[in-house]
Homo-oligomer: A and B are copies of this chain.
Amino acid sequence: MKLTVVKIGGNVIDNPTLCSQFLADFAQIPQPKILIHGGGKIATQIAEKLGIETVMVEGRRITDKAMLDVVTMVYGGLVNKSLVAQLQALQTNAIGLTGADGGVIRSQKRPVKEIDYGFVGDIEKVDAQQIAGMLVQGLTPVFAPLTFDWEGNMLNTNADTQAQSVATAMATAFTVNLVYCFEKKGVLANPDDDDSVIAELKPDLYATYKASGAINKGMIPKLDNAFKALQEGVAQVTICHAKEVLAAVKDGTAGTTLLL
């Protein structure tokens, strides 16, 4: 059976118009499906109002106890429940989850090396059976980027990684299409031309584009992770703009499809 796992980032969460349009499209994707969302700027804004300083190291949020409370509130409460309520209005029976709910995604608090990231989790185990049980009940899980440890703590977790872990775990029982929505229309053959979307990317072609420098910088770890997901059993990875998710997933007429 096919399963679609879609990840949206902060750029969608922070833009109510784009977010509504995305959700209307997501609601039309055939079940079973899973949505995984990032955080967005609102956690930083609320932290600031509460007098809690945001510290980022290499794009990652340092999460002390006060910041953990903020992200638990904002990602797990405000953002997650807003998405769930909107999806319910679109006749999609969404269920908002963190990794702690049903114990579905367990993490280890990241060990301190050079940097102490605080309450940040590295995923150890996804309970695919429990998630599959929800899908069978007709539910659409909507995951906040939060997991938990064995000691009663919530842990802040990277949404991209969480999407990949969930997709890989579900691949044992489903033919999984993992969809990353982002700011561009797909992987670009020419970084200066937003319309130069590569329709299909396989390892050989990826190597060629990397060698020529057309694919570079931040795209490389993203694509390396995507190919890793394929090697671990995910059937297909799609990279597309949030606006084009339906065309990319249902018709394959938008975005970049990554295949082995």
Chain A residues at the B interface, C-beta cutoff of 8 Å? 46, 49-51, 69, 72-78, 80-82, 84-86, 88-89, 93-98, 100-103, 130, 133, 137, 139, 146, 148, 150-154
Inter-chain contact A152/B89, CB cutoff 8 Å:
yes
- Chain B residue contacts of A51, Cβ below 8 A: 49
A77 to B42, CA, bound (A): 14
- Chain B residue contacts of A148, Cβ below 8 A: 84-85, 88
Known interface pairs A50-B50, A72-B82, A137-B130. Does A95 touch B102 (Cβ–Cβ under 8 Å)? Answer: yes
Across the interface, A101 reaches (CB within 8 A) one of B74, B95, B100, namely: B95
- Chain B residue contacts of A153, Cβ below 8 A: 85
Tell me how far the C-beta of A65 lies from the nearest C-beta in chain B, rounded to whole angstroms: 11
Across the interface, A88 reaches (CB within 8 A) one of B46, B137, B146, B152, namely: B152
Output the residue of A75, A77, A81, A130 with the most chain B CB within 10 A: A77
Inter-chain contact A88/B72, CB cutoff 8 Å:
no
- Chain B residue contacts of A94, Cβ below 8 A: 100-102
Across the interface, A77 reaches (CB within 8 A) one of B73, B86, B95, B139, namely: B73
A146 to B80, CA, bound (A): 13
Q: List 9 A-B contacts (CB under 8 A).
A: A73-B77, A76-B77, A85-B148, A85-B152, A86-B152, A88-B100, A88-B103, A89-B150, A95-B102
Output the residue of A72, A73, A98, A153 with the most chain B CB within 10 A: A73
